A and B are shown apart, each in its own frame.
Chain A
Amino acid sequence: MTTYILRRVLWMIPSLLVVFTLTFIVVHATPGGPWDESEKPLPPAVKANLDRQYHLDDPLPKQYVDYLAGAVRGDFGPSYRNVERSVSDIVGATLPVSLQLGAASMLFALVVGIPLGVLAAMRQNTWVDFVASLVTVSGISTPPFVRVTLLIVVFSLALPWLPTGGWEGLGDVRLIIPMVAIGTGPAAILARYTRSSLLEVLPQDFLRTARAKGLAEQAVVLRHALKNALIPVVTVAGVTLANVITGAFFVERIYGVPGIGRQFVDSVSGRDYPLLLGIVLVFALLISVVNLLVDVSYGFLDPRIRYR
C-alpha cells in the first residue's frame, strides 16, 4: 500500500512536468508580448526594458529552466499585470476563496445529488424517477454560465431575495447563488451515478437476506445497499472536480467572486504568462492529488481491491 502511494506520487512528477512544458511552449509561442494589449503602444525602448526586467529577452530554454527552478521552490515569479504582486501572492490570496466556494459547492452536490439518486432508484420508472432524470439531465447539460445568469435573473432581479454579486466568505448569503450554480453540475453527475449504481446493487442476494431477516426497507437501502452502491460513485470525484474548476471560471467572473477561476480567465485575456502558468500548475496539482486520493480511498472502501 505504502509503495503504491509512493509510486503514484512519483508518477505525478512526469505528468505535471508534461503539463507544465506544454503550457510553457504554447504560452511562449503565442506571438504578441504581454505589453501589447494597452491602448497606447509602448515605445520600443520601454518594451525592451520591461522584457529585460522580466527576463523575457533570455533564450527560451533558460527561461524554462529558471521558471521551473523557481516553481519547485514555490516561486512563480512576478505577475506582469499587477506589477507589485507576485504570482504566489495572487494564488495565495485567491485560491482560499475558490477552495471555500468549491468545498461549499461539493457539499451542496453531495447533499442534493445522492438523495436524488437514491429516490430515483427506489421509485424506478415512476414519475419521481422521470422528474429526477429531467433534473439530472438539465444539471449535466446546462453550462454553468447559463445556470448562474438564470439564478441571478430569478433570485436577484425578479425576486429581490439575494444580492446580484460579491463575496463575503462562507457565512454570507452571497455564497448561495455561486454555490448552487457550480454545485448543480456535480450534483447531477452524482445523482445519475448513485441511481445506476444502486439499481445494480438492489437485486443482489445479500439484500434479500437483509429483507428476509426482517429489516425495514429503509434500513436495507440506506445501511446495506447504499453503502455498497456508493463505492463506484467515488470514482467520479475527479470528474466532479473538473466540473467545479471549469464552473468557477464563469461563475466567479459573473458573480464577482475574487477567486482563482476569475484570475485564470483574466490572465488568459491579459497574456499574463507567469500567472497563467502558475494557475494551470495549481489546477494540475489539485487534480492529480484528488485522483490519487480517489484511488487510495477505493481500497479502504472496498477491501476486495488489491494494489500492486
Chain B
Amino acid sequence: MASSIRASATGSAAGAALRRPPASLWSDAWRRMLRNRPAVVSLAYVVLLLAAAILASAIAPYAFEAQDLDSADLGSTQAHLLGTDQLGRDLLSRLLYGSRISLAVGIVDVLVVLLIGVPLGLLAGFFGRWIDVVVMRAVDILLAFPNLLLVIVVITYLRAVLELPQSGALAALGGLDKLSGGLLGVFIALGLVSWLTVARLVRGQVLSLKEKEFVEAARMIGASDGRIMLRHLLPNSLAPVIVAATFGIPGAIATEAGLSFLGLGVRPPLPSWGILIAEGVRSMRAFPHELLFPAAVLAVTLICFNFLGDGLRDALDPKLKVD
C-alpha cells in the first residue's frame, strides 16, 4: 500500500517536488542518532565487541584456559599482545572470551526486561485492581533496596542449592549451572531485579495511554483487550522501553563483573572480566598491566553502552527522561 501511494505521488512532477522523503518515527530517530557523535562511536564499539564475542574462538590466539608457566606474567610481547597472567594464560584471549560472558549477561537482561517487565507492566497498568497492587507492591519493595544487596543474597542461596546433589528439575538446573560455570545462577539472580524499572515504566505509560481517544476508538470497533494491549499500547510505549533496556545492559554487565570479582559469580577458569580484574588486583603491585587491561576494557564497554543509551534517549524522544 505504501508503495502505491508513493507511486501515485511521484506520478506528477509537482507532487515529487513538494513531497518530503517519507519519515517514520524510526527513520527520524536514526537520523538524530547519527548526528550524536559519542553515540555513533559507542555503537561502533558495541558492534565490534559483539563481533569479537561471536568470533572469539576463531580470532583468539590461545585457548582461554591454556597455561604456560614458562611465560607467566609477561608484558606485551609479539606472541602475547596484552601479556600473560600469573599462570601464563594469554590475557588477550581471556579478554576476548570474557566478552562472551558479559554480552550474554546483557542479552539475558534484555530478554528478562522484554519477557517479564513489559508484560507485567502492561497487565498491571491495563487491568489495574489486584494485579496492579500485587505487581507494584513487589516492585516497590524490591526497588527500595540496592540491586546488588538483593542479588548477593539471592545468588548465595542459589549457589548453595544448585551445588547440592538434587533430583528432578533441580538436578537439571544444577547440571546446567555447572555446565555454564555458574552463569545460570547469575542469570537468575540478575533476572530477579532487572525487570523492575521497566515494569513500573510501562505501567505508567499504559495508565496515561489507555485514557486516550485512539484506545477508545479501537475498543469501539470491537478490539479485544489483548489486541489493544499488543497493537496499540505496546507500540506506543516502546521508545522508553528501548531506552531503559539499553541502560539496563551496562548495569547487568557491571553487576555480573562485581559478583565474579567477589567470587560469587562465574567460576574460574571461565574468564569473566570481573575474575580477570580480581586476579589483576592480586598481582597489581608487580604487574599492573594485568589489572589495567581488563579494568579498562570493562570501563570502556560500560561507558559506551551508557553513551548509546543517552543517544537513543535523545533520538527517540528529546523530552523523555529515563535514568
Is A283 a contact of B149 with CB atoms below 8 Å?
Answer: yes
- CB–CB A149/B303 < 8 A: no
> Which of B38, B144, B285 touches A291 (beta carbons < 8 Å)?
B144
Closest residue of chain B to A239 (Cβ to Cβ) is: B323
Is there contact, CB below 8 Å, between A287 and B156? Answer: no
Residue interface mask A189-220, B partner, CB < 8 A = 1? 00010001000000000000000000000000
Q: Do the beta carbons of B146 and A280 come within 8 Å of each other? A: no
Contact of A280 among B153, B280, B303 (CB under 8 A): B153
Contacts known (A31-B164, A280-B149); A137 close to B263, Cβ less than 8 A: no
Interface pair B291/A153, CB less than 8 Å apart: yes
A268 touches B153 (CB 8 A): yes
Cα distance, A73 to B284, chains bound together (Å): 46
Q: How far is the CA of A14 from the CA of B106 in the complex (A)?
A: 34
The one of B144, B160, B263, B292 in contact with A153, judged by C-beta atoms closer than 8 angstroms, is: B292
Stretch at the interface among B22-30, B68-76, B82-90, B305-313: B305-313
Q: Does A90 contact B (CB under 8 A)?
A: no
A38 within 8 Å of B (CB atoms)? no
Provide the A266-299 mask, 1 if CB < 8 A to any CB of B, else 0: 0011010000100010011001100100000000
In Å, the complex CA distance between A30 and B306 comes to 36
List residues of chain A with CB within 8 A of the CB of B123: none
Interchain CB contact under 8 A, B299 and A142: yes
> Which of these binds chain B: A21-29, A63-71, A167-175?
A21-29
Interface contact B307-A146, CB-CB below 8 Å: no
Is A138 located at the chain interface by the 8 A CB criterion? yes
Q: Is there an interface contact between B254 and A143, defined as CB atoms closer than 8 Å?
A: yes
Complex Cα–Cα for A31 and B164 (A): 8
The answer to the question of A141 belonging to the interface, with a C-beta cut-off of 8 Å to chain B, is yes
**Closest chain B residue to A250 by CB distance?**
B258
Q: CB-CB < 8 A to A32: which residues of B?
A: 160, 164
* Residues A137 and B156 in contact, CB atoms below 8 Å apart: no
Residues of A with C-beta under 8 A to B305: 141
Question: Which residues from A are CB-within-8-Å of B245?
Answer: none
Q: A19-B145, A153-B292, A265-B262 are in contact. Are A141 and B157 (CB under 8 A)?
A: no
Contact, CB under 8 Å: B153 / A27:
yes
Contact A269 B149 (CB under 8 A): no
Cα separation A249 to B264 with both chains bound (whole Å): 13
- Are B145 and A146 in contact, with the CB atoms below 8 A? no
Q: A149-B281, A149-B284, A280-B149 are in contact. Are A137 and B303 (CB under 8 A)?
A: yes
Of the candidates A29, A164, A249, the one whose C-beta lies within 8 Å of that of B157 is A29
Would A246 and B262 be within 8 Å (CB), given that A19-B141, A141-B254 are in contact? no
Give the residues in chain B near A192, CB-CB below 8 Å. Answer: 323
- Taking a contact as CB atoms under 8 Å apart, the answer to whether B292 and A143 are in contact is no
Q: For residues 260 through 295 of chain B, which have their beta carbon under 8 Å from a beta carbon of chain A? A: 261-264, 277, 280-281, 284-285, 288, 291-292, 295
- Residue of A at shortest CB range from B299? A142
| Chain A residue contacts of B306, Cβ below 8 A | 137, 140-141
**Chain A neighbourhood of B262, CB < 8 A:** 249-250, 253, 265, 269
With A and B bound together, what is the CA distance between A151 and B258 in angstroms? 17
**Chain B residue with minimal CB distance to A26?**
B157
Q: How far is the CA of A288 from the CA of B140 in the complex (A)?
A: 12
Interface size class of B (residues with CB under 8 A): 35 or more
**Residues of B contacting A159 with CB < 8 Å?**
none
A157 touches B154 (CB 8 A): no
Interface centre among A137, A150, A271 (most CB of B within 10 A): A137
B257 sits at the interface (CB 8 A): yes
Determine whether the beta carbon of A143 is less than 8 Å from that of B258.
Answer: yes
A145, B161: Cβ atoms closer than 8 Å: no
**Distance in angstroms between the alpha carbons of A158 and B287 in the assembled complex:** 11
Residues of B within 8 A of A150 (CB): 292, 295, 299
By a CB distance below 8 angstroms, the chain B residues around A60 are none
Q: Which residues of B contact A143 (CB under 8 A)?
A: 254, 257-258, 298, 302
CB <8 Å contact, B144 and A245: no
B302 touches A254 (CB 8 A): no
Whether a CB of chain B sits under 8 angstroms from the CB of A242 is: yes
Decide yes or no whether A15 CB sits under 8 A from chain B. Answer: yes
- Whether A26 pairs with B284 at a CB distance below 8 angstroms is no
Interchain nearest-CB distance for B159 vs A (Å)? 9
The answer to whether the Cβ of B148 comes within 8 Å of any Cβ in the partner chain is: yes
**Is B98's CB within 8 Å of the partner chain A?**
no
Report the Cα distance A291→B141, complex, angstroms: 13
Q: Is B152 an interface position by the 8 A CB rule?
A: yes
> Are B145 and A153 in contact (CB-based, < 8 A)?
no
CA distance A141 to B305 in the complex (A): 9
**Which residues of chain B have a CB within 8 Å of any CB of chain A?**
38, 141, 144-149, 152-154, 156-157, 160-161, 164, 250, 254, 257-258, 261-264, 277, 280-281, 284-285, 288, 291-292, 295, 298-299, 302-303, 305-307, 310, 321, 323
- 13 more A-B residue pairs beyond the given contacts A32-B164, A140-B306, with a C-beta to C-beta distance below 8 A: A15-B141, A26-B157, A27-B157, A29-B161, A31-B164, A133-B38, A137-B307, A149-B295, A245-B149, A246-B146, A246-B149, A249-B152, A249-B262
Top 9 A-B residue pairs of the complex, sorted by shortest distance between their CB atoms: A141-B302, A242-B146, A246-B148, A141-B306, A143-B254, A30-B160, A26-B157, A142-B299, A246-B146
> 22 A-B pairs, CB-CB below 8 angstroms?
A19-B145, A26-B153, A27-B157, A29-B161, A30-B156, A30-B160, A133-B310, A137-B310, A141-B254, A145-B258, A149-B280, A150-B299, A153-B291, A164-B285, A245-B149, A246-B146, A249-B262, A254-B281, A264-B152, A271-B156, A280-B153, A287-B144
